[in-house]
Amino acid sequence: MKIRIKKGDLVRIVAGNDRGRTGKVLKVFRKTERVVVEGVHLIKRHTRPTQKNPKGGILEKEAPVHLSNVRKEH
């Protein structure tokens, strides 16, 4: 399958809990046919303190969404 969506494209989520939301593509995983969309499909990640993040705690970050659940916006 040819992937027609690339980094920086504006996309709309067409299935799942985030249906109807739009955002910019941050990353494309070609092998698994998934994309990371800015501000969509947020997960909570429990992190321990590190030098980069000395406080640690619960961080919210975007998780990949399958290409079949995304449509390119014009």
Q: Can you give the pLDDT at residue 55? A: 93
The type of residue at 48 is R
Q: Give domain status of residue 2, yes or no.
A: no
Q: What is the pTM of this model?
A: 0.86
pLDDT in tens, the chain (74 residues): 688 999 999 999 999 999 999 999 999 999 999 999 999 999 999 999 999 999 999 999 999 999 999 999 97
Q: Can you give the pLDDT at residue 1? A: 67
Tokens standing for residue 56: 């640690």
Q: Give domain status of residue 19, yes or no.
A: yes
Identify the DSSP state of 1.
-
Domain that holds residue 17: 10-72
- Mind giving me the DSSP string for 2-69? -----TT-EEEE-SSTTTT-EEEEEEEETTTTEEEETTSSEEEEEE---SSSTT-EEEEEE--EEGGG
Q: Give domain status of residue 5, yes or no.
A: no
> Which of 61, 16, 56 shows the shortest CA–CA distance to 43?
61
